Amino acid sequence: MSDTAILATPKGWPAILLPRPAAAKAGTVAADPADLDAATAAGAFKGLRLAIRDLGAIGTIAVIGAAGLRGRGGAGYPAADKWRAAAGTNAAERIVVANGYGADPATGTDGVLLRRNPFAVIEGLAIAAFAIGAGEAVIAVRAEAVSTIRVLEAALAAATDAGFVGPDAFGPGRSLDVRLETVQGAYLLGEETILLKALEGKRGQPEQRPPHPATKGLRGLPTVVHNVQTLAAIPWIVVNGADAFAKVGAKDCPGTILVQVRGADAAGVAEVPMGTSLRDIVALAAPVAGSPAGGRAVKAILVGGPSGGILPPEALDTPYTFEALRAAGAHIGSGSVIVADERACIVDLARVLTRFCADEACGKTIPCRIGTRRLSEIGDRLAAGTSRAGDLDLLTDLAADIVGSALCDHERLATLPLVSGMRYFRAELDEHIERGSCPAGVCHPIAMAASATH
Ligand SMILES: Cc1cc2nc3c(=O)[nH]c(=O)nc-3n(C[C@H](O)[C@H](O)[C@H](O)COP(=O)(O)O)c2cc1C
Ligand code: SF4
């Protein structure tokens, strides 16, 4: 099964962002996702028409606010608050940017959405632009995402030809110029201020906030940046109403979200209601052996991507919400949920993830640049069996010093793999330090040293 296959979900789970696999099989979903006639027959652009004709800009913002839509890009910030901030400026021009960068190389959620349901993203972008008074919109994707780019180009051309975007899209003299921009770079490019720099052709480093992009963004203009999933939910909300959306998912975070699930027997993308337990999410990756770990015991769940948390099986009942995952030591991040079975070594996992985060730090702020490197070295020493006395105390102090000291959230997130690993799997870390052995036999120098004594 491909990593980007859409996983079957239980009957009754709402489908707001993606067509159901069953619907695709039954032929009720167009074979060509850029087929505008088929999409409009299924309701595409109805929300945009309603927003322009019935709600008006202020009414549209009110509906999105009442629905409680929170950004899916990571921080969970209320969408309507960003819109109000941008609309409240007295700038002559405003911009909306769809963040389709998909920073985590192992997570395909945003690409799946863009390829399967491009009109939902374009329509959401247009509604957001109409609501904040923007005449310019950008869809930013990775330059190497060739098949996504192909679908988006066709969908955008069709939507422009039909007049949903482009000249006079919102009425006479009220145009929306939408363009597709490809950006090429590192993990950090998904961070909104870096993405805006890249779109300006500048070096990719974050900016001090405030001012936030909503008031001063691309070319200094008020710019609302949203993840593509956030945008794709907007037409559904306008058509079905704020109350209907507020009833889906978690009370403090309504709606659905796409997750990239990986277990022993299946991997793919699933649309899940916000607040679904991690247990129900990992169960989606168990269609064959009946266990997400392929018949083996679940040892850990990696939640949030490269800078995610490593959670124990006891955390399986944690609801998939911004706050609950943060309290557990992880985050929604890229939407990745990976099951590690009993053969995994927590030190090895944390070491590899921390190294990635240190390598990807842009270097603009010293606590992150140097701190993540020192953290990575602690991980290396743990795995190599060369830990120094006090390394875990140093890890705790370093993580505390790094967090909150930098320009973007990367510094905090980069501490999560080692900090959560130490929080939940302390005995395994201690064994690496005190006995010089790797219980899972993964950290090679230690495993060899241990076996040489027998
Ligand atoms: C290191 C880092 C990487 C990020 N990568 C992405 C990304 O790939 N896609 C994304 O939509 N947001 C990403 N974000 C979050 C964005 O900065 C921004 O908050 C988001 O695009 C806003 O969209 P939302 O309002 O829909 O949440 C990243 C943040 C950080 C700190
Ligand atoms: S926190 Fe890290 S990634 Fe973010 S600006 Fe500072 S050095 Fe760059």
Residue 201, pLDDT score: 94
Question: Which of these CATH numbers, 3.30.565.10, 3.40.50.970, 3.10.20.600, 1.10.3720.10, describes 254-341?
Answer: 3.10.20.600
- Taking the CA of residue 409 as reference, the ligand 1 atom at the shortest distance is 31
Assigned fold of 348-452: de novo design (two linked rop proteins) (1.20.1440)
pLDDT digits (tens, 9 = 90+) for 258-309: 999 998 878 999 999 999 999 999 999 876 556 777 788 999 999 999 999 9
Please provide the average confidence, as pLDDT, over all residues in the chain: 93
b/e 314-338 (16+ beta carbons within 10 angstroms → b): ebbebbbbbebbeebbbbbbbbbbb
Testing ligand 2's pocket by substitution, the residue of 197, 365, 413 carrying the most ligand atoms inside 8 A of its CB is: 365
Residue 2: per-residue pLDDT:
61
Residue 142 beta carbon below 6 angstroms from any ligand 1 atom: no
Residue 225: nearest ligand to its CA?
1
Cα of 199 to ligand 1 centre, how many Å? 15
Chain segment 99-136, per-residue pLDDT in tens: 999 999 889 999 999 999 999 999 999 999 999 999 99
The pLDDT score that the predictor gives to residue 31 is 76
CA angle 67, 71, 74 (to 5 degrees): 150
Is the C-beta atom of 44 inside 6 A of ligand 2? no
Quick check: do 254-341 and 348-452 share a fold? Answer: no
Dump pLDDT digits (tens) for 214-263: 999 999 999 999 999 999 999 999 999 999 999 999 999 999 999 999 98
The parts of the chain modelled with pLDDT lower than 50 are: 1, 26-27, 453-454
pLDDT for the residue 289: 57
Q: Cα 127 to chain center, whole Å?
A: 22
Q: Which of 191, 260, 415 to mutate to test the pocket of ligand 1 (most atoms within 8 A of CB)?
A: 191
- For residue 23, the model assigns a pLDDT of 54
Distance (Å) from CA 373 to ligand 2 centroid: 12
Write down the pLDDT at residue 450: 59
Is the C-beta atom of 101 inside 6 A of ligand 1?
yes
Domain ranges in the chain? 21-247, 254-341, 348-452
pLDDT for residue 427:
96
Closest atom of ligand 1 to 195 CA is 17
Pocket of ligand 1 contains residue 123 by CB under 6 Å: no
CATH tag, 21-247: 3.40.50.11540
